[in-house]
Amino acid sequence: MSPAAASERCKEAASRMLFRNGTPDVPAQLLTGPPELPRLGGPAEQSRLTGPAELGRITGPPEQSRIAGPPPAPAPAASCAAATTLFVPTYEWQQLPDEARVPAGLEISLPLDGGVKQARIPRRWQLRVWIDGHGFWRTDVTRGTPVGELRRSAAQHMRQPTEAVELLLDGSAVLDEETVESVRLFSRRDVVSVRERG
């Protein structure tokens, strides 16, 4: 997800927390309880939940309950922006910021003594690509695996000669001499495709 899209999602979440016409955007059932619950008789029925104004209180008959008190402050924009920081992985250990979004599949070191959190792309990981008519093709790769080797593996999976198959990234063919690391395949594995040359 791009930082702009993440920021937009954060703004939408904050707007859902805002109050409308002095009342929260909360279903009445959450304020009054489900209608099938029995009501207590006697003094308990007359009581109201009261407390400091900062915490708010529920007042009025159940069918008109409102939360009184100040609305909660919306989340600061800085925290939304910080939550959208994307960690760009490499094959070397890197310090992992607290607010970073981490791609799936990384090796992560979380020391129990409070030391520095680190992450990296694993030395060996599995590439998995859907090939129409052939199902999932899976192969283990390392940073130095050549694209030509991947193409041969895909061709073998498809039961085709290697020359009849091409590996694509974002729709563009990749040269056999490139490596998994040089084309940033770990970060781009969602845009890998394999097809027969035609």
Task: Report residue 80's pLDDT band, with 50, 70 and 90 as the boundaries.
Answer: low
Number of independent structural domains in the chain: 3
Report how far residue 81's alpha carbon sits from residue 178's, in angstroms, rounded to the nearest whole number.
35
Whether residue 31 is found in the same domain as residue 54:
yes
Q: Is 14 inside any structural domain?
A: no
Global confidence as pTM: 0.56
Q: Is 102 inside any structural domain?
A: yes
Closest CA to 143 of 162, 121, 128: 121
Query: So what's the pLDDT on residue 70?
Result: 55
Give the DSSP H/E element, type plus range, for residue 31: helix 28-32
Whether residue 130 is found in the same domain as residue 187:
yes
Q: Is 78 inside any structural domain?
A: no
Whether residue 143 is found in the same domain as residue 175:
yes
Largest interatomic CA distance in the chain: 86
Task: Report residue 65's pLDDT band, with 50, 70 and 90 as the boundaries.
Answer: very low
Q: Is 98 inside any structural domain?
A: yes
Q: Of 12-16, 103-107, 126-130, 187-191, which gets the smallest average pLDDT?
A: 12-16
Domain with 60, as residue range(s), is 19-68
Among 94, 122, 150, residue at a domain's last position: 122
User: Domain holding 182: CATH number?
Assistant: 3.10.20.90
Cβ atoms 175, 91 nearer than 8 A = no
Whether residue 128 is found in the same domain as residue 116:
no
Whether residue 139 is found in the same domain as residue 165:
yes
Q: Show the tokens assigned to 45.
A: 């029925």
Whether residue 137 is found in the same domain as residue 113:
no
Whether residue 34 is found in the same domain as residue 55:
yes
Whether residue 128 is found in the same domain as residue 190:
yes
Q: Is 114 inside any structural domain?
A: yes
Beta bridge partner(s), residue 87: none
Higher pLDDT, 144 or 47: 144
Q: Is 154 inside any structural domain?
A: yes
Closest CA to 117 of 107, 129, 127: 107
Q: Is 73 inside any structural domain?
A: no
